[in-house]
Amino acid sequence: MSATAHPTPVHSDSAAYKLGTTYPDVPYAEKERLFGEMKADERFADYLYGCYECGICVAACPSARYYDFSPRRIAQAAAREDVELIYQQMQEDIWDCSQCFSCLRCPRGNNPGGIITVMREVAVNNGLDSARQALRGYTRIIYKIMSTGTQVSPDMLQADAFPDWGPSVAKVSEKLDLWRRALPPDTHHTTTTGWEISTKTLVELYLIWHKTGALAMIEELDPSLHSLLEEVMEDLLDEEGYELD
């Protein structure tokens, strides 16, 4: 029953593409299929009972103060099985949520933030444009975590990298290796990773991401990042005697 007209399809890599303003429309059956994935999630029944539209979730929601975003509309659309609106929300609204779960104070026991968690996973697993766009900024972080096992590393402290970190950064960055070696634990005598990660750990992490579908998710969202990771990990897997199916 959505009264919103869908914008014309624009390729996601186009310069005109901006999150929340335009996305490709898809056939109704595809929207139904995406909602079907939401409903099939085993958490869904615990996250949504029924909504009497009291608005307490919106009142509690920090994002609602800054964006045209309403956790109530998320719960309502899901309860009404309004697949048109749900698709629109998957392409727009769900990325405005900060997943703080203030909306858990719902007197009906709903969990709008949880519904959004499920919707985000469906959006990511299906490679929706909004998911690609929302996660684009995380490419470097994903690459670093998956290829090194840590996210923040000392060598990020560079003189010109983070001006807001203040003037001492330049000084520290000059003798990074020395500063690090002054730390008591041996495992912290590193500069390219946060701490020392063994090949065994790295491979185990990689296998977990493979088995849990995280790698498949990345393959769907960012194929070039995925092949880069595959390349980097190939030798390590070999070394540890693993072969991925």
Write out the residues near another protein by the rule CB under 8 A. Answer: 1-4, 49-53, 72-73, 76, 79-81, 85, 108
CA distance 54 to 77: 15
CA neighbor of 23 nearest in space, from 35, 5, 46: 5
Residue 94 CB, shortest distance to another protein, in Å, is: 17
Residue 19 CB, shortest distance to another protein, in Å, is: 22
Looking at the Cβ atoms of 38 and 217, the one nearer to another protein is 38
Residue 3 CB, shortest distance to another protein, in Å, is: 4
Residue 108 CB, shortest distance to another protein, in Å, is: 8
Residue 49 CB, shortest distance to another protein, in Å, is: 5
SS3 labels along 105-145? HCCCCCCHHHHHHHHHHHHHHCCCHHHHHHHHHHHHHHHHH
CA dihedral angle for residue 138, residue 144, residue 149, residue 155, rounded to 10 degrees: -120
- In one-letter notation, the amino acid at residue 44 is F
Looking at the Cβ atoms of 88 and 133, the one nearer to another protein is 88
CA distance 58 to 22: 25
Looking at the Cβ atoms of 62 and 109, the one nearer to another protein is 109
> How far out from the chain centre does Cα 27 lie?
26
Close Cβ partners of 156 (under 8 Å, ≥ 6 residues apart): 162
Residue 112 CB, shortest distance to another protein, in Å, is: 14
Q: How many CB atoms are located within 10 Å of the residue 227 CB? A: 11
Measured on CA atoms in the order 162, 165, 168, 169, is the torsion positive or negative? negative
